[in-house]
Amino acid sequence: MKHTKLYIMLLAFSLAGCISDDSDLMPVIEEWENVDVEEISLDYSDLAEPAETIDPSDDDYTENNQFTHKVDVVFNGTTATVSGDLDDIDVLISGAHVTIDSYTSEVEYIVSGKSTDGGLKIYSTNKYLLTLNGVTLTNPTGAVINNQSSKHLYLQLAPGTVNSLTDGNNYSTTNTEDEKGAFFSEGQIVVSGSGTLNVNGHHRHAIASDDYIIFRPGSKIYATTTAGHGIKANDGIDIRGSVINVEVSGTASKGINSEAFVNVSGGRTTITTTGQSLIEEGDTSTCAAVKCDSTFTMTAGTLRMKSTGMGGKCINATKTITISGGQLSAVALGEKALGAPKALKCDEDIIINGGRIFSYSVNSKAVDADWELIVSPGWQTYKRTSRWMILQY
């Protein structure tokens, strides 16, 4: 792993009265200290992941459902075709823009082909499986994939395929429907399969759900946006696996944004943010690699974050941050102006009892818990100053 050596002048012992933990032992820190700051960059390399244990009673698993009705959606330049089992399925095609209205259960839509002016909108009274089988789509005027059903959308990336979705800067959105990103769903999104999905957002978010999003092992995801958040969900984001790369550059944008929890239990997720701060009605909002309005929990996997925007955070959680396993690297390199750039920021406790953590902020606190920083005993390495923390169990 590459490192960049930075030399930092510290007043280390001033922290003793500010941050507490349950280890009964503060790290011994010299007044002059150096630290190798990890370089964080997007990582597309393959990842060997353990096999999943599938709970047969869990409806979030595709394997616990049947999708016997097959519908093929093929894009070809300025046109598109829809074929297969179309009983109780209405189809409207305008150029390469396809709208499906389904009243049938157990449907799998298999999508392939290319178009520079196309998209797929689905209305459904039932959950369905959406298999991307090598599709490249650009929709200049709206979401590329637009699920207007509140039911499960099981997103399967066919093995060996590369699927790319790009929206435009301006949407011709109706007043009665949400359309919050290049890939948008009113319902839950459960991602599986061993293919690749690239989503490029220009109007707002890259991937967005008004419910929750689950990433299962095996996929490769790249989400980038210049205007909104990389991955946005109202009811939680659960990363169980996959190689996920997120890159955002919009003002006050978040790489991963959840209005509920964020859980990380597998995979390798890398996030970079470069957006600047925003002042709106007297409130300051800054960019963040991960922003959640509830708890952040990490038990396994790898999470690497770099935030370079003014006042940018790596993790910004409203409720408790708990880390009990995995490898977490958080590097905040932004200037301290409208907001303070912090690697780990929490409005409640930060609890650490396992894993490996590297946390660094060039211009503010590496770790900032409004309540307490609680570090459980049993660590092998624990070094902490105001600007960085290295903790290894």
Question: Could you tell me the two tokens for 376?
Answer: 């459980």
Integer Cα distance of 388 and 314 in angstroms: 13
Per mean pLDDT, which of 5-14, 38-47, 175-184 is the most reliable?
Answer: 38-47
Q: Which residues constitute the domain of residue 328?
A: 1-39+248-393
Whole-number pLDDT of residue 184? 97
Query: Do 209 and 346 share a domain, yes or no?
Result: no
Query: Do 89 and 7 share a domain, yes or no?
Result: no
pLDDT band at 17; cut points 50, 70, 90: very low
The total of other beta-carbon atoms located within 10 Å of residue 77's CB is: 13
Query: Do 266 and 342 share a domain, yes or no?
Result: yes
**Which of 7-11, 186-190, 375-379 is the least confident region?**
7-11
Integer Cα distance of 277 and 309 in angstroms: 7
Query: Do 79 and 227 share a domain, yes or no?
Result: yes
Query: Do 267 and 208 share a domain, yes or no?
Result: no
Query: Do 151 and 276 share a domain, yes or no?
Result: no
**Residue 344 pLDDT exceeds 90:** yes
Q: Which residue, 235, 263, 280, sits at the end of a domain?
A: 235
| DSSP state letters, 359-378 | EEESSS-SEEESS-EEE-S-
Whole-number pLDDT of residue 152? 96
Residue 241, in any domain of the structure: no
Query: Would you say 209 and 177 are in contact if contact means Cβ atoms under 8 Å apart?
Result: no
Average pLDDT for residues 276-284, to the nearest whole number?
67
Residue 243, in any domain of the structure: no
Residues near 357 by Cβ (< 8 Å), separated by ≥ 6? 323, 328, 329, 330, 389, 390, 391, 392
Whole-number pLDDT of residue 31? 35
**What's CA 140's distance to the chain center, in Å?**
24
Query: Do 16 and 65 share a domain, yes or no?
Result: no
The rounded percent of the chain whose pLDDT value lies above 90 is 78
Residue 49, in any domain of the structure: no
Question: Could you tell me the two tokens for 114?
Answer: 């290319």
Integer Cα distance of 257 and 253 in angstroms: 9
* pTM, entire model: 0.90
Residue 55, in any domain of the structure: no
Top-confidence residue, 283 or 271: 271
Q: Which residue, 235, 259, 278, sits at the end of a domain?
A: 235
Residue 314, in any domain of the structure: yes
Find, among 256, 246, 130, 148, the residue nearest to 195 by Cα. 130
Find, among 116, 172, 174, 126, the residue nearest to 151 by Cα. 126
Average pLDDT for residues 324-352, to the nearest whole number?
92
Average pLDDT for residues 262-283, to the nearest whole number?
86
Residue 135, in any domain of the structure: yes
Q: Taking the alpha carbons of 233, 177, 206, 276 in that order, is the dihedral positive or negative?
A: negative
Whole-number pLDDT of residue 185? 98
Integer Cα distance of 138 and 136 in angstroms: 7
Whole-number pLDDT of residue 24? 44
Query: Do 276 and 388 share a domain, yes or no?
Result: yes
**Residue 42 pLDDT exceeds 80:** yes
Query: Do 219 and 78 share a domain, yes or no?
Result: yes
Residue 146, in any domain of the structure: yes
pLDDT band at 176; cut points 50, 70, 90: confident
**Residue 20 pLDDT exceeds 70:** no
Residue 46, in any domain of the structure: no
Average pLDDT for residues 321-334, to the nearest whole number?
96
Q: How many domains is the chain built from? A: 2
Query: Do 259 and 392 share a domain, yes or no?
Result: yes
Question: Could you tell me the two tokens for 317?
Answer: 């959680």
Q: Which residue, 213, 235, 257, sits at the end of a domain?
A: 235
Query: Do 270 and 328 share a domain, yes or no?
Result: yes
Query: Do 309 and 190 share a domain, yes or no?
Result: no
Integer Cα distance of 38 and 27 in angstroms: 21
Strand, coil or helix: what is 390?
Answer: strand
User: For residue 39, what is the DSSP state?
Assistant: P
